[in-house]
């Protein structure tokens, strides 16, 4: 049975959905309506056509099969087979849908033994451990002590009634997963409170350290896996001599943003200068993989350009994009920002007089290509008068070349 679903504004800004055609978007949105409360739906092309395109004879089952494969490649859905039937999981279904009273799933989940299913869970969670809030490390070995390698955590253990459905599966670093064992989420509350009072490492994967390597705030080391403290006992733990000065920012999803990644985010936030939706933007910032210094500089430069163009958009009755959508859509990779940066650098070049310009233009046209001369004229913003002045001198020296006259006329017409 079809259900009413939520379409968030970020759907239209996302680069993955932005590359889809109108029909492909229509199929994807139709799948949202007909999926069960786990985001699972039959991936039979004939079934989907009957539900989403019942009156459109131009769309065939082969077209739908091709679109499903494209959505799978874009990591918007996860295709799998169970009991000789084809199914699809809408990967970020529970992130974008608020299910107040979830009903029993109508479709079976993927096999937990399917490695691609595990990888899809990691990507959905941004490779962040749901227990300690730190990034997992794909390069870490699983057989070492305090391994940060990613693993699948059953939020409610299977031994206590949990399932393999996507909503019950979370990403966890292997060391945290082992500590949790078969405990229920509420049984970890005391450990999480103690954990929150410690200094966490930077979210950058290059600087990660195991949580247990940090000094506790009490006079003795406490092993969280073996000792539980009540809330009253935690309040009585004395502070250390050196206060914890590291800044931590809580995102909308209650994740921790700190260290170098937080510093870079604050710089971006100040530069972007659209003070709305900071907590949501912080969540999107955490999902940027491999955040290097060069990438941060690229993002900051693009954010500065976005800020400078916002007033013009508002004057033209256009709604400015919020930081979360801007980050999620990876707008710093847009060609518009790259082109604008190049154009800005060209405009800043000093304007030369005609006297200084003529020998330089003459030399470029005599020794280089006509395209180089064309770029030269564009760079220095030739006026029609400038073009005519250079034209006259070159015509006299070159004997009035017909091809040259055509080129110069073209440049003069665009000035």
Q: What is the pLDDT of residues 245-270, one digit of tens each?
A: 568 899 988 888 888 889 889 999 99
How distant is the alpha carbon of residue 323 from its chain centre?
11
CA distances from 280 to 5, 172, 251, 304 (A): 20, 22, 7, 20
According to the model, what pLDDT value does residue 145 have?
Answer: 77
According to the model, what pLDDT value does residue 103 have?
Answer: 87
The mean pLDDT of the chain is: 75
According to the model, what pLDDT value does residue 193 have?
Answer: 33
Q: Is pLDDT above 50 for 207?
A: no
Handedness of CA 312, 317, 318, 324 (dihedral sign): positive
pLDDT tier at 293, thresholds 50, 70, 90:
confident
The per-residue pLDDT for range 50-82, each reduced to its tens digit, is 999 999 989 999 999 999 999 999 899 999 999
pLDDT > 70 in the chain, percent: 65
What's the rounded Cα separation, in Å, for the pair 165 and 187?
A: 22
286's tokens: 């955490």
According to the model, what pLDDT value does residue 52 have?
Answer: 93
According to the model, what pLDDT value does residue 357 have?
Answer: 64
For domain 10-175, say whether CATH 1.10.10.10 is its number. yes
According to the model, what pLDDT value does residue 365 have?
Answer: 59
Residue with tokens 């659209």: 274
Burial class of 372 by CB neighbour count within 10 A (0 to 12, 13 to 18, 19+): exposed
Residue range 336-363: average pLDDT? 53
Residue 85 gets the label, from left (phi > 0), alpha (psi -120 to 50) or beta, of beta
**Cβ count within 10 A of residue 50:** 11
- Domain spans of the chain, in order of start: 10-175, 256-344, 354-414
Specify the 3-state DSSP secondary structure of 406.
Answer: helix
According to the model, what pLDDT value does residue 1 have?
Answer: 59
Residue range 85-107: average pLDDT? 87
pLDDT tier at 375, thresholds 50, 70, 90:
low
Alpha helices, DSSP H, located in 316-383: 323-328, 335-347, 354-367, 370-379
pLDDT tier at 34, thresholds 50, 70, 90:
very high
Range with the poorest average pLDDT among 104-113, 171-180, 333-342, 374-383 = 333-342
According to the model, what pLDDT value does residue 89 have?
Answer: 95
CB crowding 265-278: b at 16 or more within 10 Å, else e: beebbebbebeeeb
- Maximum average pLDDT range among 228-242, 316-330, 358-372: 316-330
């Amino acid at each position: 049975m079809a259900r009413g679903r939520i379409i968030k504004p970020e759907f239209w800004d996302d680069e993955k959905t932005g590359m889809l055609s109108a029909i492909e978007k229509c199929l994807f949105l139709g799948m949202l309506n007909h999926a069960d409360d786990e985001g699972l739906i039959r991936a039979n092309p004939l079934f989907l056509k009957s539900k989403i395109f019942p009156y459109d004879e131009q769309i065939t089952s082969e077209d739908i099969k091709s679109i499903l494969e494209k959505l799978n490649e874009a990591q918007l859905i996860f295709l799998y087979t169970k009991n000789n039937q084809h199914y699809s999981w809408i990967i970020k279904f529970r992130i974008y849908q608020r299910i107040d009273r979830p009903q029993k799933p109508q479709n079976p989940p993927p096999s937990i033994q399917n490695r691609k299913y595990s990888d899809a869970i990691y990507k959905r969670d941004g490779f962040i451990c749901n227990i300690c809030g730190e990034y997992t490390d794909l390069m870490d070995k699983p057989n070492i002590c305090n391994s940060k390698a990613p693993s699948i955590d059953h939020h409610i253990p299977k031994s206590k009634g949990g399932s393999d459905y996507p909503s019950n599966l979370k990403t966890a670093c292997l060391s945290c997963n082992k500590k949790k064992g078969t405990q229920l989420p509420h049984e970890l509350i005391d450990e999480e409170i103690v954990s929150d009072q410690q200094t966490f490492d930077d979210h950058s994967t290059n600087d990660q350290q195991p949580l247990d390597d940090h000094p506790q705030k009490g006079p003795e080391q406490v092993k969280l896996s073996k000792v539980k403290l009540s809330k009253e006992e935690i309040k009585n733990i004395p502070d250390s001599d050196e206060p914890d000065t590291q800044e931590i920012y809580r995102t909308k999803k209650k994740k921790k943003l700190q260290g170098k990644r937080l510093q870079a985010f604050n710089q971006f936030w100040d530069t972007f200068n659209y003070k709305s939706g900071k907590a949501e933007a912080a969540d999107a910032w955490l999902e940027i993989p491999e955040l290097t210094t060069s990438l941060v500089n690229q993002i900051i430069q693009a954010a500065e350009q976005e800020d400078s163009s916002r007033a013009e958009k508002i004057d033209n009755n256009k709604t400015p994009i919020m930081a979360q959508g801007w980050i999620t859509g990876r707008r710093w990779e847009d060609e518009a920002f790259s082109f604008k940066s190049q154009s800005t650098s060209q405009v800043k070049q000093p304007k030369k007089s005609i006297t200084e310009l003529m020998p330089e233009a003459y030399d470029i046209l005599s020794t280089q290509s006509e395209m180089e001369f064309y770029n030269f004229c564009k760079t220095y913003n030739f006026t029609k008068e400038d073009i005519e002045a250079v034209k006259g001198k070159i015509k006299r020296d070159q004997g009035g070349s017909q091809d040259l006259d055509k080129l110069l006329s073209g440049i003069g017409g665009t000035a």
